[in-house]
Amino acid sequence: MTENTGLIEAINGPAEARKTGRSCVLNRRSFLLTSGVATATVMVTMHTADGLANVPALVATYPRKLIGKLSELKPDEPLDFAYPDDNSYSESMLVKLGREAGGGIGPDKDVVAFNYNCTHQGGPLQGTYQADDKALGPCPLHLTTFDLTRHGMFISGQAYQSLPQVLLELDGDDIYAVGMFGLIYGRYDNLQG
Ligand code: FES
């Protein structure tokens, strides 16, 4: 059982969370064949000429990617990484807030990760981390600021969607990205970069 199992289950459902263990599988994108992302084979029930039948299906899953070590994180010093792939709009940041946060991992539940692209029109949020407010922003385009302690909720500005949060898992000292909560700007599907 990992620290973010509850959040992962909330997104994927308990059955998927049990079945896939550490993987994140979004139900709504079952059956999507993908390239560049992890896949898994599951049995699904489909209508056939002979009635219902269980058939194997390849589904897209989020990769489990090592993005840092807990012992090496310094408070309020973001670490950049790309997730769920290296394609457009995958730029993300990992940060130890020094304050408990929604979805936070570690002994203080203060380590979180977010995508860097503003949900309004994709303004780049790199370099805008505010240590005092534990926020990203203001966005250089239209000044939206996002609260990193509350799942990336917007505080002010033009955006009306939260910043996508990268779901994290702690395995010993290793921090893994294992999924996403929210749609990345510029994508119609997070796994179709
Ligand atoms: S693009 Fe960020 S507020 Fe408009």
Q: Which of 168, 175, 115, 181 lies closest to 146 in space, CA to CA?
A: 115
Nearest-atom index, ligand 1, CA of 158: 3
pLDDT top residue among 61 and 123: 123
| Residue 149: band (very low, low, confident or very high) from pLDDT cuts 50, 70, 90 | very high
| Residue 167: band (very low, low, confident or very high) from pLDDT cuts 50, 70, 90 | very high
Does residue 178 surpass a pLDDT of 80? yes
Share above pLDDT 90 across residues of the chain, in percent, rounded to a whole number: 67
Q: In whole angstroms, what is the distance from residue 90 CA to residue 103 CA?
A: 19
| Catalytic-residue membership of 142 | yes
Write down the pLDDT at residue 38. 66
pLDDT top residue among 18 and 189: 189
| Residue 179: band (very low, low, confident or very high) from pLDDT cuts 50, 70, 90 | very high
Which secondary structure element, helix H or strand E, spans residue 11, and what is its range?
helix 5-12
| Residue 39: band (very low, low, confident or very high) from pLDDT cuts 50, 70, 90 | low
Does residue 9 surpass a pLDDT of 80? no
Does residue 35 surpass a pLDDT of 90? no
At position 48, the amino acid (one-letter code) is T
| Catalytic-residue membership of 47 | no
| Residue 53: band (very low, low, confident or very high) from pLDDT cuts 50, 70, 90 | confident
Mean pLDDT score of the chain, rounded to an integer? 83
Residue with tokens 């394609």: 87
Pocket of ligand 1 (CB under 6 A): 118, 120-123, 139, 141-144, 157-159
Length of the chain: 193
Write down the pLDDT at residue 5. 52
Which secondary structure element, helix H or strand E, spans residue 158, and what is its range?
none
Q: Which of 110, 62, 104 lies closest to 83 in space, CA to CA?
A: 62
Write down the pLDDT at residue 56. 72
* List of domains in the chain: 5-61 (no CATH), 65-181 (2.102.10.10)
* Reported pTM: 0.77
Partners of 95 in beta bridges? 112
Residue identifier of the C-alpha nearest atom 3 of ligand 1: 142
Q: What is the pLDDT of residues 78-96, one digit of tens each?
A: 999 999 999 999 999 999 9
